[in-house]
Chain A
């Protein structure tokens, strides 16, 4: 698909104008992606034409909703290359997935003195659940450091892992820097020291940009969010390899996750239902399925080709802007750029860029330890996606120059 054909699927590009009268250049894709019309239509169709609960009803509407809902699970299984659909837990997003691992597995299986390996590059979603667990358990957290160029310092990897390291959980692609971590290499080095280690991957920023294969990666779990993959907000998935999954305990109780309930006690439904209590976000899950079909239609080769083109053009453009400093300058990355403008705060930069119709993020991007490691408090961040165009990069460049004059 050509970029113009892809863009035609997003009403946003035709309909939304900024206050300055020009179309908005949406460069905040690492926060959430735009949604194609087919996804919104699917969500809307569910509410308008089905609107039934899943799994329990015997009427045709419920059957139809269940088919579509479970169809998403199969789409995710196929997207991730998982062996069984029952290895896919539908969640509210990547954060929920990581918390499920902490509460459903680690809380039951870790003992005093056990260690968890993380990195300084993590989103708060992969740090705070472990901090919360530390309030209950005497476990140690170790962190792979980040170097100034925005890559992990893997020279320290072996010294940070031992037989006590029960689990390593880390990000595949940084939401702040776009750094693509050498996931396969890290996993193989960790397993060489501790073959029993469980690997949990935060695929939130990776899943829409590269073909993932959980079996080939050899991970125990992988978490992702639909809304970063052209799908609805409030939905995600957690892949749990069967043997790892079987060690999980339910975290929340309620409807749909039980086998039988008496006043004396409850028995539980098989996986994955046991981890999915209550009425789920049915419309969101159905929309997620459509988003995956849309991504497949576009194709990962098209996604990567366009993102590489945008990465090269934007990198070159940013390097030419005086007074702009890129934070992290490695080249093996997705088109995500954290930057500072000399003498200006990131919020001021983002506020002024917004007035020129450019939407970027500013702040700590829910990664304060990474910010600290890089010696900054906050940055402005432009994150591009496969549907962005080179013309939009040109407009970004013009706006940056005007912004620099105004805020410095």
Chain B
């Protein structure tokens, strides 16, 4: 990847992160009307980062998924894409398990064959997922950074309280 490509990759990641709606670090967990009811975490073995994914509920019984922790740009952007997608139809969260798991796997597939075309990658309707996948294709050693939020999501689906 050229320096120019790197610049573009980071510009695309920063664009996603700067418009963050679901980062608790940015919003400040205390000021949010949402309260965390369940939390799942995933560890990045290479850098030691921990990403927390929160299942939150507010006083009107609305639910959402949000994330917290300190992460690299790719991990944060990937978490934002995940949250944006699951929150667009939060009632379907439990049904998203197989998609979440295959997205997590897809980053590692890209790692081993970064030249695969987008069509060969997982075909989902998840908005902006392709941006994250392209970033992984540009920096394959970082696949785990992108996969982290999706790994936490599959745990959260298993662990969150059900009514």
Contact = CB atoms under 8 A, between A and B. Distances in A.
Nearest to A403: B6
Interface stretch (A267-275, A288-296, A347-355): A347-355
Contact of B47 (A20, A346, A352): A346
Interface string B14-51: 00000000000000000000000000000000111100
Interface string A317-356: 0000000000000000000000000000111100110011
A378 B2 contact: no
A377 interface: yes
Interface in A8-30: 19-20
Contacts of B74: 347-348
Nearest to A377: B48
A362 interface: yes
Nearest to B135: A351
B1 A407 contact: no
Interface residues of B, number: 18
A347 B146 CA distance: 12
Contacts of B6: 351-352, 355, 406
Contact of B2 (A19, A347, A371): A19
A362 B7 CA distance: 19
B138 to A, nearest CB: 9
A364 B70 CA distance: 14
B3 to A, nearest CB: 5
Nearest to B70: A377
Interface in A361-379: 362-364, 368, 371, 377-378
Contacts of B49: 345, 377-378
B145 interface: yes
Contacts of B48: 363-364, 368, 371, 377-378
B160 interface: no
Contacts of A355: 1-3, 6
A400 B122 CA distance: 36
B97 interface: no
A362 B73 contact: no
Given A345-B71, A345-B73, A351 B3 contact: no
Contacts of A407: 10, 73
Contacts of A363: 46-48
B139 interface: yes
Interface string A30-68: 000000000000000000000000000000000000000
Interface size band for A:
10 to 19
A406 B4 CA distance: 11
A379 to B, nearest CB: 9
B145 A347 contact: yes
B1 A19 contact: yes
B47 A406 contact: no
Nearest to A402: B3
B126 interface: no
B142 interface: yes
Contacts of A362: 47
Contact of A364 (B10, B47, B142): B47
Interface string B138-156: 0100100100000000000
A134 B156 CA distance: 32
B72 interface: yes
Contacts of B7: 406
A234 B68 CA distance: 39
Contact of A377 (B10, B47, B139, B145): B47
Nearest to A372: B48
Given A356-B3, A378-B47, 13 more contacts: A20-B3, A345-B49, A345-B70, A346-B47, A347-B72, A348-B73, A351-B139, A355-B3, A363-B46, A363-B48, A377-B48, A377-B49, A406-B10
Interface of B: 1-3, 6-7, 10, 46-49, 70-74, 139, 142, 145
Interface of A: 19-20, 345-348, 351-352, 355-356, 362-364, 368, 371, 377-378, 406-407
Nearest first, the 4 closest Cβ-Cβ pairs linking A and B are: A345-B72, A364-B48, A378-B47, A363-B47
21 contacts: A19-B1, A345-B47, A345-B49, A345-B70, A345-B71, A345-B73, A346-B72, A347-B145, A348-B10, A348-B72, A348-B74, A351-B6, A355-B2, A356-B3, A364-B47, A364-B48, A368-B48, A378-B47, A378-B48, A407-B10, A407-B73
